[in-house]
Structure 1
Amino acid sequence: MKQLTLQGFTVKKNGDTCRIYPMFSTPVVNTINEISGLSKKEEELGMKQIQKIQNLNDVNEKYKNDYLNSYLETLNVSNENEFDWSRMIIRELEFKEFSDCKALLDMIDDRDFVFKYKHDLEMKFEIMVGWFLKEKLGITSRSIPPVLDDGRRIDLLSLYVMVEKDGGYQEVTVDNLWPAIAKDLGFEYQDGDFVRVIYAMYLYVLVYY
């Protein structure tokens, strides 16, 4: 008995039998978390499982990124080949209601936008003017774009932008700026009145509709 005590054990008698127990042991603290309802041990196991899943997700994410990067490299994609959404929007724009015309006119308010997409906007602007004359005014006899007897064409988009920049039809007329606008369009100063008539025939009603 004494030898067992020295070795850290105690003996408990229960009737005719004896059982040996360690004298010192560390109590197990396993309190319940009031918020989660889990014991401390369960929370520790849960955190380990969460960490394991996160580590696995990190590995999967790295694999996906590596794979996608490798795949994109095989496509030889460069900035020059990136899709131009603005150009796509211009080209896909159709005119079925006047609100479609308004949408294009709003785009043209941005002069930098006009400069960048001049070619696409020029063609779409002519389509819009033709649609407006036919569908809203019932006019089908005017050529789009206007063409002079000598074959020269009048750029309706440039005419519209110049007049708007100078304050509109009324301001340009009062300030007698039509000769200057004619010159900027590639004509002569004396063609100013002719350019004014073209604006009145093709654009005036559209602008103030």
Structure 2
Amino acid sequence: MHIQSNPSILYFGTPVVLISTKNENDTDNLAPMSSIFWLGWRCMIGLAASSKTTQNLIRSKQCVLNLPSVNQVAAVNLLAKTTGSNPVPPAKILKGYRHVADKFTIAGLTKQQSHTVKPPRVQECPVQMEAVVEAAHGLAENDADQRGRIVTFELLIKKVYLERSILMEGNNNQVDPDKWKPLIMSFQQFYTLGDKVHQSTLAEIPERMYNTPDWEKALNTENLSINIM
């Protein structure tokens, strides 16, 4: 039996992402988030307009999307309620956030040089995706009470790095879902994927049939020397 309900959040389960960006003084910022979904080699993310990551993305238009597995949950938790913004935005003060300048150190994570963007990758994360901003849009622009509070970004993935331990045997371009245990945020709690529950009809379609022009362009520039300085 269903009943009408009014939950404060509708976080039914999305992957946790650590977004690395460059601050205006060329230091590195690292922030956890989970408002994200992918379409081909592009994704959409949503961030508070007042966050340091949002400001960095608008200014530099570059980032790395680092996907932690269950093995990095402690590091992700150490980043919770921290912000690169100084002073701390009022809304975050109310939620108990504090300013931290060096996010990598406080989380015990290691920087790894990127190749197509300036922000570093997170070495410990099994999935790393270098990305650039293609477009930015305000959320709830028609609502005067919410206008300007949240920004959505369309990101184009430029390069993907995958840890060998999560790949299909003999295939460097396909993740094995039985090996990949992403960190999932569901109603503010940490979870991961469980065992496969049923054979998927959709899985009968080879993954390569979903290749997009973005994928082809990234492949064609694989051997090009890209100046990111």
TM-score range, shorter chain: under 0.3
Higher strand share: 2
Structure ID, larger Rg: 1
Q: Which has the higher helix share?
A: 1
* TM-score, reference length from structure 2: 0.20
Q: Point out which structure has higher relative CO (alpha carbons under 8 A, 6+ apart).
A: 2
- TM value normalised by structure 1: 0.22
